[in-house]
Amino acid sequence: MTSGGLTECLRKTFVTLDQIKEITRTYPTPFHLYDEKGIRENASKLKEAFAWNKGYREYFAVKATPNPFILNILKDYDCGCDCSSLTELMMADRLDFDGKSIMFSSNDTPAEEFAYADKVGAIINLDDITHIDFLEKTIGRIPETISCRYNPGGYFKLGNSIMDNPGDSKYGMTHEQIIEAFKILKSKGAKNFGIHAFLASNTVTNEYYPALARILFELAVELHEKTGADIKFINLSGGIGIPYTPDKEPNDISVIGANVHKVYDEVLTANGMGDVAIYTELGRFMLAPYGCLVTKAIHEKHTYKEYIGVDACAANLMRPAMYGAYHHITVAGKENAPCDHKYDITGSLCENNDKFAIDRMLPKIDMGDYLIIHDTGAHGFSMGYNYNGRLRSSELLLKEDGSVQMIRRAETPKDYFATFDFTDIFKGIE
């Protein structure tokens, strides 16, 4: 893309300037907005891509977008919940997801969380071999259905684009440990086994899932041969990413599903294990492109650089400040204008990294313009926080019929002060 050229601005949005103006009559900026139509279409495509596997299920990573309205949409497509904390388990239970629809994948897990997971009948995915004794002491037994997380160690490299370092990750068991874990679990009464692994994050390639699948499928055959364990499911976890930058092409989930199918037949079916269910736990792929943060330009500053201050900040979207992550920005109503101005787009926190974009080429921004920050549907609102006493914004759902529903209200000062014991001092605060 040429610097300052029109192509740098072009990125399709699911909401128009006219719609934003109508929304802000009721809901002030900033707010996170989700596209129901896009979410439903994507969930349907994922389910179709793995329809070849009789037991397939997507366990949506609740941590990505922990909103009951979103979870209920995904429930329409037989999605379950992947939970990693007590409150996520509580949310899934309150939404009437049955135990088989809840996967509890946690690490450094407190005893009360294992106890609650067992109470609601969730499938427990053990992160470490030492957790076997810890779980047994906590709930008094080993569940009949249990899963273990695998970490192959070393480096995981795929082509020239992806390299991750499982050996430096705190998650999962070594090869020797998972074999021993299956033997111990079986001796303690486990009957139905699962395997889980996560090797790379936000991969924008159709090759990642098939490569991971081969590793896990071959491990499953080995575990079955060496321990006699009845392996019921293999959880490919997450890792399928999205193209945050406009120069990348999105993954093709139908191609990914077909290539996993090919590996499945080559490894599992060929070894008499063609009845193993495939699970996924996608968060970013499921939701990120179908959410955006809408914010308004409220200040401009001309010093050593050109700054545009907006009414959102890192408390609303942490990724750029925390990781230097790129999120595309569209100036609503100026989609066809040339990107001939260089700006830093900043929030109001007392931290210099509170910037949504640095040296970004955009159309001329006028005060009152609405900026659409793309791909915030996952790990956007959920990573929000209250530094500087800033309050988290509302979450809105753009429904298929064009109407808008508030699915989480904005925080108020009363929420911020609610956990203090001396609440009388703040009496009357709204």
The residues annotated with a catalytic role in the active site are: 350
Q: Which H or E run contains 286? A: helix 284-287
Both tokens assigned to 207: 């090759």
Both tokens assigned to 319: 């990724």
d(CA 2, CA 77): 41
β-pair type (291-302, 80-83): unpaired
Q: Name the 3-class secondary structure at 193.
A: strand
Q: Which residues contact 330 (CB under 8 A, 6 or more apart)?
A: 9, 11, 13, 371, 372, 374
Q: Which H or E run contains 104? A: strand 102-105
Say how many C-beta atoms besides its own lie within 10 A of residue 153's C-beta: 14
Q: Name the 3-class secondary structure at 346.
A: strand
Query: What are the contacts of 178-182 at 24+ separation with CB within 8 A?
Result: 178/129, 178/148, 178/150, 178/219, 178/223, 179/222, 179/223, 179/226, 179/227, 180/129, 181/126, 181/129, 181/132, 181/148, 182/148, 182/223, 182/227, 182/229
Q: Name the 3-class secondary structure at 253.
A: helix
Provide the β-strand partners of residue 291: 34
CB 364 within 8 A of CB 337: yes
CB 146 within 8 A of CB 116: no
Nearest to 283 by CA among 79, 48, 65, 86: 65
Residue 277 CB-half CA count within 13 A: 16
Q: Which residues contact 326 (CB under 8 A, 6 or more apart)?
A: 244, 245, 320
